[in-house]
Amino acid sequence: MTALGNDGIVTIFVNAAQTVTCAGPARARRGTEMQDADVRRGCGVAVQGDRIVGVDADDALRRRFPGAREIDCEGGLLAPGFVDSHTHAVFGRARYEEHELRATGVPYLEIARRGGGIHASVRDLRARTDDDLFALAVPRLRTLAAGGVTTVEIKSGYGLTVHDELRSLRVIARLAAIGGLHVVATCMGAHEVPMEYRDAPDGRRTWIDCLTGELYPAVAAEGLAAFADVFCEPGVFDVAETRHLLAAAAALGLRSKLHADELHDGGAAALAASIDAVSADHLAAISPAGVQALARSRTVATLLPATMLFLGTGRQAPARALIDAGAAVAVATDFNPGTSPLQSFPLVLTLAVSELRMSASEAWIAGTVNGAAALGLAGTTGQLAEGFRADLAVHAVDDFRALPYWFGERLCTLAWAGGRACHPSW
């Protein structure tokens, strides 16, 4: 698979009906900044190797780069590749039965208490080989790429032993090495307290000690993850435990993320802001005080509307309150086997508009620039601008508002990650 312009020749993308550049500061966009996705007409993009070297009118690029190869966008939409900043894509079997249980009124945390939920995926993953997990994950990433995703974060968290968490992260490293999508790894050994520790004397403290004393040091020593994430939720890990876990991880160079205030307000958003976490994710139960804390912080609020829709809770994170307060908001799929078996990023844009009441421009910024910021990559990807990585996609629509409008349709025709084709094949 040869990178565009890897032989020194520039490749230019031309004949787009519109080009969504999302160009601007190399940081998360906040408040009214999210209203401008910088949509242009008659604009092309020039790529050499893995970098964007020009964004200008088609004819201007032809004059600047005589002899360049041309890729015809055929009147489609040229845009940055999506950054899916929250997934759990390494897992085994699906969990169909829980979908039906929730329909009968059994809540998510009760299913988990009975040994379902995360624990069902844990039992399944522990029984599988690394090769099996890898083989299951590859087509999932290809499906994400088919929707225009070029960067994906993948969390561990279905192993819940030191051995199985490290296995999961090594599988994620294999996925990163094959050169399809850009893959960012997050260690989430603190996804839950394993069932075998639940009833053991001081078992909870023993698992926390395993995370801080064994797992995090091993992850840091092998360079297996950029982040540590904790499910900070009443009944899972409380604020004090989360602070302790993330402080231990940060001391080893792992930056902080939180599953925050998803089902109940436990003060997780305020904690995320206070420790300068890179992102606080979910936030469907965030308090007004939590909204203000995030608005005053650098922490990105990553919202996962498909999760709340699939859980059937009838509520969503308060995106409008967050944006209007000045917080930086991202959106992501939360692709996982239990609460969001979604592999279509464009559908997330639909939900951002229809469920979260975001404008189309806000949704595009949330899925690109701010998704990149939620992974510490705002200076690398998420916008079409000179010097940024050549992560881009072409969609078969002629207006940037059309992608969230035609919900459920497969409209991405071409995508490149770092100048390498990742859709329709890689």
Q: Write out pLDDT tens, residues 225-281.
A: 999 999 999 989 999 999 999 999 999 999 999 999 999 999 999 999 999 999 999
pLDDT at position 117: 86
- Residues sharing a CB contact under 8 Å with residue 178, sequence separation 6 or more, in sequence order: 138
> What's the mean pLDDT in 2-24?
89
Domain residues for the domain of 15 are 11-80+382-423
Total domain count for the chain?
Answer: 2
- The Cα–Cα gap between 84 and 176 comes to 14
CATH number assigned to the domain comprising residue 38: 2.30.40.10
Q: Has residue 6 been placed in a domain? A: no
pLDDT at position 103: 87
Q: Quick one: 311 and 202 in the same domain?
A: yes
Confidence bin at 111 (pLDDT 50/70/90) = confident
Cis peptide before 305 (omega within 30 of 0): no
Q: Write out pLDDT tens, residues 52-70.
A: 999 999 999 999 999 999 9
Q: Has residue 3 been placed in a domain? A: no
Q: Quick one: 64 and 93 in the same domain?
A: no
Q: Write out pLDDT tens, residues 171-205.
A: 999 999 998 999 999 999 999 999 999 888 899 99
Degrees, nearest 5: CA angle 296-329-375? 95
Confidence bin at 2 (pLDDT 50/70/90) = low
Q: Quick one: 67 and 94 in the same domain?
A: no
Q: Quick one: 74 and 87 in the same domain?
A: no
Q: Quick one: 164 and 304 in the same domain?
A: yes
CATH number assigned to the domain comprising residue 337: 3.20.20.140
Q: Reply yes or no on whether the pLDDT at 35 is more than 50.
A: yes
Number of Cα atoms under 13 Å in the Cβ half of residue 242:
31
Confidence bin at 19 (pLDDT 50/70/90) = very high
Q: Has residue 5 been placed in a domain? A: no
Q: Quick one: 418 and 357 in the same domain?
A: no
Q: Write out pLDDT tens, residues 121-146.
A: 999 999 999 999 999 999 999 999 99
pLDDT at position 1: 44
What is the reported pTM?
0.96
Q: Quick one: 166 and 286 in the same domain?
A: yes
215-242 exposure pattern, b = at least 16 Cβ within 10 A, e = fewer: bbebbbeeebbbbbbbbbbbebbbbebb
Q: Reply yes or no on whether the pLDDT at 116 is more than 60.
A: yes
The residue among 164, 156, 154, 95 whose CA lies nearest residue 130 is 164
Q: Write out pLDDT tens, residues 392-426.
A: 999 999 999 999 999 999 999 999 999 999 999 88
